[in-house]
Homo-oligomer: A and B are copies of this chain.
Amino acid sequence: MITLASDFGSPYPAAMKGVVRRRSDAELVDVSHDLPRGDPRAAAFWLRFVLPEFPPAVHCAVVDPGVGTDRAAVVVRAGDHVVVAPDNGLALPPARALADDPGSEIDVFEVRVDDPASATFHGRDVFAPAAAAVHEAAGADGPPASSTTLSAVPTLSPTDEHVDLTFPEPAVTRDADGEPRTVTGEVLVVDDFGNAVTNVPGALVHGRDRASVDGDSTPVVRTFADVPPGDRLVTVGSHGYVECDVNDGHGASAFGLAPGDAVRFSFDG
């Protein structure tokens, strides 16, 4: 299986599908082609969330504001999964989530680009061919790739040099009992429902009934329907992070939050 993810919208991803199909009979699965435009960190957030749901696969993920520059293309092996991506760090957070065990080894390979590639569409000219080559190297029945099979792909070379990407950690102040008093986090993404998803782990609001969000007292609830339609809420999303939402509404607009914005949660008593 080869999954495809990008910020390309339509119809550019179709060219990637054709390129893969010329080289491989692998099942093609669209993950998303509407990832936030030009934002490798947001792509890393979403792919860390959804790719671990898949069985072993080759994941071709292209959010690439550096296309046409000399940034490398990488193939990242994590457990039985492989992520093929530009070397801007987006592959690493999902790879860590895909590794069999936390802390298990992740191998990174650089893709050699022999043929003259376009300067604006490496999804077609670099990443789709690399994903197909990795898939074919593993063979139809094996896991999609081991370090050994990847080393045998002529266009790949092991590398110790690659860009990493980590998410910012929220700043936490605590009371005398060690309980969080204030948590200053950051909005990482706004999802298609309008929910403003932060970098604040759910555990930091565990047991709270209310939180002050940038000064406005807001209920902390288990699910949307715990507040009336149109009301604001704070909840822990299925990805494990704190969201600022509105039941049957658009949380980011209501809270005035956009990706990259700081957001401060404080708790009474």
Contact = CB atoms under 8 A, between A and B. Distances in A.
Interface of A: 1, 3, 5, 8-12, 14-19, 21-22, 28-35, 37-38, 46, 49-55, 65-69, 118-121, 124-125, 191-193, 222-226, 235, 237-238, 248
Contacts of A69: 223, 225
A17 B2 CA distance: 13
Nearest to A223: B68
Nearest to A38: B248
A224 B54 CA distance: 34
Copies in the complex: 3
A10 B34 contact: yes
6 contacts: A9-B192, A11-B32, A14-B50, A14-B53, A67-B223, A69-B223
Given A10-B32, A11-B32, 13 more contacts: A9-B193, A11-B49, A18-B53, A18-B54, A22-B53, A65-B224, A67-B224, A68-B224, A69-B223, A120-B224, A121-B238, A124-B238, A125-B238
A8 B193 CA distance: 8
Nearest to A125: B238
A124 to B, nearest CB: 7
Contact of A248 (B29, B32, B65): B65
A28 to B, nearest CB: 7
Contacts of A37: 193
